[in-house]
Structure 1
Amino acid sequence: MTLPDRTVSVAPARASDRPLIAGLAQFYIYDFSDMHPVPEDDFDFEADGTFGPFPHFDDYWSDPSRVVLLIRADGKPAGFALLNTQSHFGGEVEHNMGEFYVARKFRRSGVAAEALRQILKAYPGHWEFAVMARNHAAQAFWPRAIASAPNVTNIIRGEGDGNQWTGPIWSCDAG
């Protein structure tokens, strides 16, 4: 889709995109490093200056129930989405937004919301979006972005139980 200033596309990542997604994941992890409170051992640098591999990253490339999507703006890498079927309320859902990242350069420009609209259109079914309690920017983004998708109904905001998840959880149906 074309926004006033750019074209946004979302496509399944290819095996050759794996190093790109891994690199973008480093910036995703970095963004979390300034959200307080940060557990003491989280976000420590590895000996090579990276944050180390993203947890469960390999599973996204080997488990057929998981999906890796590459987000592009004007043909350039802008972010990624990692989809799985794990519910934060327990059990499974058809789709869970495991991770969603759009680079700071592209934020507040409509790229993330448009990427989400494309994802919800391409992957219909029951969805969950869990947001960490300390991620205030995401708590503002998700309800607006979900509601802006034309094919979404039954939007419900729940709250994690404090053990399995701490923070808000939105669920919806995408048709």
Structure 2
Amino acid sequence: MTNPLLTNPPGSRTARLTMRPTTPADRPVLDRLWLLFRHDMSEVSGALPDPSGQFRRERLDAAFTDPAWHGVLAHLEPADGAPASPVGFALVRGLDGPTRVLSSFFVVRGARRAGVGLQLAAHVLASLPGRWEIAFQDANLPAVRFWRTVATTAVGQGWTEEHRAVPGRPETPPDTWISLTTA
């Protein structure tokens, strides 16, 4: 399925995806995108918001307070010159260790299936070369296909996949972890 936001008639300008590290000024945008991300994930995880309507946000908070974390925000600049819209983010932890972990990754539904996620993932992996781990849930079938495609695109067949128990949650199915190394 083609996303009309990203396609234009031949010869016309196309929408442009931009990605940059997050700054403290991005916090209000990330707060709103985080709510959308956690809402989407609740379909797989079963997580419910707290009484105030918020989902857990420790990872988002860490991205703005912990120097071992890094965030990337993606915007789509429409072809018609309208203001850019935030369309996704990635949060990475482990910058102080030997392995980076893609902790959170999200693309808004209106920008999915148009290559935005693949471009964002490729940008993040390339901007922080080294050993990587990416977790997802087998019940999230689009994520299974997506992350296997990302890994293969990034390093060919040079990646592995394994199931690991979720710490402190024995009732939860194990997460699937992809490990790879980028140059």
TM-score scaled by structure 2?
Answer: 0.78
Corresponding position of 1:62:
65
Matched, 1:155 2:159: yes
Note if contact 1:127-1:173 (Cα within 8 Å) is conserved in structure 2.
yes
* Structure 1 unpaired stretches of 5+: 87-91
Q: Deviations over 1:31-51 (max 9, x none)?
A: 022226x2xxx313533xx32
Matched, 1:167 2:175: yes
Corresponding position of 2:81:
none
Matched, 1:98 2:103: yes
Note if contact 1:94-1:126 (Cα within 8 Å) is conserved in structure 2.
yes
User: Root-mean-square deviation (CA), in Å?
Assistant: 2.3
Note if contact 1:81-1:101 (Cα within 8 Å) is conserved in structure 2.
yes
One-letter amino acid of the counterpart of residue 87, structure 2: A
Note if contact 1:97-1:128 (Cα within 8 Å) is conserved in structure 2.
yes
Matched ranges for 1:121-132 at <5 A: 121-132=126-137
Note if contact 2:34-2:60 (Cα within 8 Å) is conserved in structure 1.
no
CA shift for structure 1 position 9: 2.0
CA shift for structure 1 position 112: 0.3
- Fraction of identical pairs, as percent: 22
Matched length: 160
Q: Deviations over 1:75-101 (max 9, x none)?
A: 321011000029xxxxx5431100000
TM-score scaled by structure 1?
Answer: 0.81
Matched, 1:141 2:146: yes
